[in-house]
Amino acid sequence: MSSLFMFEKPLGMRDTLPAIYERKYNLKQKIDTEIKKWGYQFIETPTLEYYETVGTASAILDQQLFKLLDQQGHTLVLRPDMTAPIARVAASKLLTEEMPLRLAYNASVFRSQQREGGRPAEFEQIGVEYIGDKTISADGEGISLLIASLAEAGVENYQVSVGHIGFVQSFFQQILGTKERAESLTKYLYEKNYVGYRQHVEQLALSSIDKQRLHDFLKLRGTQEVISLAKQLIEGNQGSKAIEELQQLWDILVDYGVEGKVRFDLSLVSHMSYYTGIVYEVYAEGVGFPIGSGGRYDLLLEKFGKKTGATGFAIRVDRLLEALGRIEKSNNIECILFSNERRKEAFQLAKEKRSAGIQVITQDINGVKDVDACTKQYNEITLLVGKAGMEVVK
Amino acid sequence: MSDILTIAMPKGRIFEEAADLLREAGFRLPAEFDDSRKLIINVEEENFRFILAKPMDVPTYVEHGVADLGIAGKDVMLEEERDVYELLDLHISACYLAVAGLPNTELNEIAPRIATKYPNVAAAYFREQGSQVEIIKLNGSIELAPIIGLTDRIVDIVSTGKTLVENGLIEYERIVDITSRLIVNPASYRMKEQRISELVNRLTDVVKEKESAK
C-alpha cells in the first residue's frame, strides 16, 4: 500500500469547517428547541456498542457496519443508527413504569460506504423515539413533529410520503396465500423495481382479477382518496385493520393541520423486516435522497426483552442543509486590534461587547503580518493602537 | 423553473428510439437533434432538459437527483444497483446478457476466468450456478478476451449474435433478457409527481399499443 498523504481522510469522512459548522449548529438548535417543546427529552448513548446486541438489532445492513474488537475479543460496532441504542436503554433502564417514553437525540451515526463520494460514512441525525404507545396517535404525533421541525428549520418545499407495511403484508398474503410468496413480491417494492413487480405478478398462477388487484396496488398514491381505493382492493376483514389505521392517521393529521404536507404511497417499503406499521419518508426539493424517515417498529423492543410498541423518525442533518440551499457566508465577528499600551482598554471593551452578546476577538496588532487582510475578515474593526483615541475603521 | 424535467439519456441508438417514443406519446420534440456533440439539450416547448450520458452513468445521475428521470438498460440497472424507481419497461433496445466463448472449450478447472463489462452481474450469475470464477473487468471489445486467451468465457450483451459469430465465438448460456427502462429519482418521484405521472402514463399507453400490435 502506498503511504497516505497528510490530508487524506478515511472514505466517507468529512470535516466541518467554520461556515458550515455555524449553519449546522443554528439549524440543530432550532430543531432541538422544537422537539423539546413537544416534551421530548434528549439523551446520549455511547459511540461504540456490542455487535451481538445493538449491531444485529439495528436496521442497517451488516456490510455497512464499522466493526472492531475490544480487549476481551468482543466485536464492537460504531453505532449505525440511534434507534437500536435507545431501544436498549429504554428496555433496560427507563421503561420501568407502564408509561409512554418520549426520547430524542442529536448524534452522529456511522455507516461504511463502498461507493463513490456523495455518501458520508459519518453523519448527524436528529430524531425522536416514542416508546410504549401502540396507538395511531403516536404515529400521528411523530409525523406532525417531523413537519413542525422542518418548518422550524425553514424548509419550504417538502413532502412526507406515508405507507403502511401492515397493509402491504396482509394484502399480499390475502392474494398469494403464503408469507414466502408475499415476501418475494414485497422485495420488488423494497428495490423500487415496479417493472420486476409487474413481470412477477404476470408469472404467478392467479386469476386475472387478482392480478389486476396487484397491478392496481401500485397506483395507491395520493391523499385521502387512497384509503377508499385501498378498501376496494382488499376483501373481507384481512387488512382492514391497516386501512382503519390509515383513516385514523389521516384524521389525526387533519386535526394537527399538517395534512397538506402528507401524501400516501402504499407501495412504500423502506425496509424488508424492521418496520411493522406506518412508515414514512420525507423528500425535499433540491435533494435527491430522503432528508428524513421514520415509522413504527413494534418488534425491536422485544429484542431487548420488553414487549411494547414504538415509533420514531430521524432527520439527516447533512441533507437538510442541502435542502436549505446555499446561504452566503456571513460572520458577525468583530475585531479589536490593540497594541500593548492600550491592552487593558481593549480587554475592557471586549468584555462589554461580549456581555451585550456580540462576538468579538481581541487581536494583538504585533501578531498580524498583514493588517489589511486581517481587517477584511471582520464586520467591524476597532483600532486601539498607540495613544490616540478610539478609532472605528469600518 | 423547478418545472423543468431533467432526463438522462444514453447517447446514440437508445436516445433516438426513446425520443421516438416520446414523440409518439405526443411530446413536442424537434424532428432532429442536430448538434450531436452537445451534452445538454433543452426542449423549451415541453420544459425538458436532456442530458446525454454514457449508458453506464445514467442511473448515477438519476440516483443523485441531478436528473429526475433516465433511460437505462436493464443490464446497467443490474450492474449498478442504484436506489431509483424502475417504473416502466420501454421495450426498446432489446437484447440479452449471455455467457459466450470459443466453441468446444471448457472452463479452466483451477482458475476459471470470465471477462466482462459487468463484473457484478457476472459474479452473481456464476455464484448462483455454484461455480467460483475469477472476473476480469474489461471496458469494451470483450470478444477479444477468449480469442487471445485472456479468459475462457465472456459475459456480454448479445443483440443479434452477429458480433459473436464474426469473432468465431458461440453462446453457451443465456443469463437474462434486457430492455431499456424508465427510471426515476425517489425525491423527484414525489416532488414532481404530477409531471412525472403524466409522462409515465402517456409512455405506458404508447408502449402498450406497440406491444399489442406486435
pLDDT per residue as tens digits for the range A8-53: 888 888 999 988 898 999 999 999 999 999 999 999 999 999 999 9
The confidence band for A204, taking pLDDT boundaries of 50, 70 and 90, is very high
Mutate to test the interface with B, among A61, A157, A283 (most CBs of B within 10 A): A283
Region A219-224 average pLDDT: 93
Which residues in chain B are closer than 8 Å to A195, comparing Cβ atoms? 86-89, 181
Q: Given its phi and psi angles, is residue B93 left (phi above 0), alpha (psi -120 to 50 degrees) or beta?
A: left
Residues of chain A whose beta carbon is less than 8 angstroms from a beta carbon of chain B are 118, 157, 159, 161, 192-196, 198-199, 221, 263, 265, 281, 283-285, 287-290
* Contact residues for A43 (Cβ-Cβ < 8 A; gap 6+): A86, A89, A103, A104, A105
Q: State which H helix or E strand residue A292 sits in.
A: strand A292-296
Shortest CA gap B182–chain A (Å)? 9
Q: Check if the beta carbon of residue A127 is closer than 8 Å to that of residue A312.
A: yes
- Whether A227 shows a pLDDT value over 80: the answer reads yes
Chain B residues within 8 A of A194 when measuring between CB atoms: 85-88
Cα dist from A52 to A45, A67, A301, A372, whole Å = 17, 11, 15, 59
Does any CB of chain A come closer than 8 Å to the CB of residue B63?
Answer: yes
Output the DSSP codes for A315-338. EEHHHHHHHT---------EEEEE
B66 contact A CB<8A: yes
pLDDT band at A3 (very low <50, low <70, confident <90, very high): confident
User: What are the domain boundaries of chain A?
Assistant: 18-323, 334-392
Say if residue A391's pLDDT is above 70.
no
Instruction: Mark yes or no for CB contact A288/B65 under 8 Å.
Output: yes
Q: Name which of A49, A29, A217 is nearest A106 in CA terms.
A: A29
CB contact under 8 A, A195 and B88: yes
Share of chain A above pLDDT 70, in %: 95
Measured CA to CA, the distance from residue A313 to residue A372 in angstroms comes to 49
Tell me the three state secondary structure of residue A199. Answer: helix
pLDDT band at B35 (very low <50, low <70, confident <90, very high): low
Q: Which chain B residue is nearest to residue A288, measuring alpha carbons?
A: B65
Please tell me the distance from the alpha carbon of residue A92 to that of residue A303, in angstroms, as a whole number. Answer: 11
Using DSSP, state whether B152 is helix, strand or coil.
coil
Asked if the Cβ–Cβ distance from B190 to A159 is below 8 Å, we say: yes
Q: Indicate the domain borders of chain B.
A: 5-93+179-213, 95-177
Tell me: the pLDDT tens digits for A296-337?
Answer: 999 999 999 888 999 999 999 999 999 998 766 667 889 999
Q: Note the pLDDT tens digit of each residue in B84-100.
A: 999 999 999 999 999 99
Interface membership of B186 toward A (CB under 8 Å): yes
> Do residues A19 and A137 make contact, with C-beta atoms less than 8 angstroms apart?
no
Q: Side by side, which strands form the sheet with A48-50?
A: A48-50, A75-78, A67-69
Question: A118 vs B2: CB contact, 8 Å cut-off?
Answer: no
- As a whole number of angstroms, the distance between CA A278 and CA A272 comes to 14
CA distances from A9 to A2, A13, A115, A242, A341 (A): 14, 6, 15, 47, 45
Checking if the pLDDT of B31 tops 80, the result is no
Of A148, A105, A103, A142, which Cα lies nearest the Cα of A127? A105
User: CA of B80: which chain A residue's CA is closest?
Assistant: A115
The rounded distance, in Å, linking the Cα atoms of A309 and A239 is 19
Chain B residues close to A61, C-beta within 8 Å: none
Q: How many CB atoms are closer than 10 A to CB A141?
A: 20
All three cell numbers of B32: 432532429
One DSSP character per residue, A350-380 reads: HHHHHHTT--EEEEEGGG-S-HHHHHHTSSE
Could you name the CATH architecture of A18-323?
2-Layer Sandwich (3.30)
What is the rounded CA–CA span in Å between residue A238 and residue A231?
11
Q: How far is CA B70 from the centre of its chain?
A: 10
Interface size, chain A vs chain B, as Cβ–Cβ contacts under 8 Å: 54
In a mutational test of the B interface, the residue from A195, A270, A318 whose CB has the highest number of chain B CBs within 10 Å is: A195
CB A239 within 8 A of CB A167: yes
B194 interface with A at CB cutoff 8 Å: no
Mutate to test the interface with A, among B191, B194, B196 (most CBs of A within 10 A): B191
Residue B1 pLDDT: 41
pLDDT at A394 over 70: no
**Per-residue confidence at A386, pLDDT binned at 50, 70, 90?**
confident
Asked if the C-beta of B2 comes within 8 angstroms of chain A's C-beta atoms, the answer is: yes
Question: Is 50 exceeded by the pLDDT of residue B142?
Answer: yes
Pairing between strand B95-101 and B170-178? antiparallel
Which amino acid does the sequence have at B108? N
Which range is least confidently modeled, A98-112, A114-128, A340-354?
A: A114-128
Here the ipTM equals 0.90
Task: Over range A104-115, report the average pLDDT.
Answer: 89
Residue B185 near chain A (CB below 8 Å): yes
Please compute the mean of the pLDDT values over residues A93-100 and round it to a whole number. Answer: 79
CB-based contact B193 A118, cutoff 8 Å:
no
> In this complex, is the C-beta atom of B6 within 8 Å of any C-beta atom belonging to chain A?
no
Nearest CA of chain B to the CA of A372: how many Å?
41
Tell me what the pLDDT averaged over chain A comes to: 91
pLDDT in tens, B176-205: 999 999 999 999 999 999 999 999 999 999
Q: Scanning every residue of chain B, which has its alpha carbon at the shortest distance from the alpha carbon of A268?
A: B186
What's the pTM value of the predicted model, to 2 decimals? 0.90
- A334-392 topology per CATH: Rossmann fold (3.40.50)
Q: Do B86 and A195 make contact, defined as CB atoms within 8 angstroms?
A: yes
DSSP B44: G
Instruction: Give tens-digit pLDDT for A149-169.
Output: 999 999 989 999 999 999 999
CATH code, B95-177: 3.40.190.10
Taking an 8 Å cut-off on Cβ atoms, the answer to whether B86 and A157 are in contact is no
- Chain A hits for B83, Cβ within 8 Å: 192, 289
The three grid cell numbers given for residue A150, joined into one nine-digit string: 422542518
Q: Does B209 touch chain A (CB under 8 A)?
A: no
Contact B55, B80 (CB under 8 A): no
The residue to which cell 457566508 is assigned: A329
Q: What is the DSSP letter of A2?
A: P
Check: CB of residue B38 under 8 Å from CB of residue B52. Answer: yes
CATH number listed for the domain at residues B5-93+179-213: 3.40.190.10
For residue A285, give the 3-state DSSP assignment: coil
Question: Which pLDDT score is estimated for B74?
Answer: 96
- Asked if B187's CB is within 8 angstroms of A283's CB, the reply is yes
Closest approach of A316 to chain B, Cα-based (Å): 14
**Gyration radius (Cα) of chain B, Å:** 19
* pLDDT computed for residue A377 by the predictor: 83
Other Cβ atoms within 10 Å of A97 Cβ, number: 8
Does the structure show a pLDDT above 60 at A393?
Answer: no
CA B34 vs CA A303, B16, B38, B51, B93: distances in Å: 62, 12, 9, 15, 22
The one-letter code for the residue type at A20 is I
Identity of the residue numbered A103 = L
Name the β-bridge partners of A125.
Answer: A107, A316
Which residues in chain A touch residue B56, judged by CB atoms under 8 angstroms apart?
Answer: none
Q: Nearest Cβ partner of B86 from A118, A193, A289?
A: A193
**Nearest-CA distance B209 → chain A (Å):** 17
User: What is the average per-residue pLDDT within A77-96?
Assistant: 91
> Terminal CA-to-CA distance of chain B, rounded, Å?
40
pLDDT-derived band at B67 (thresholds 50, 70, 90) equals very high
- Chain B positions touching A290 (Cβ under 8 A) are 186-187
d(CA A58, CA A12): 20
Q: Is B65 at the interface with chain A, CB within 8 A?
A: yes
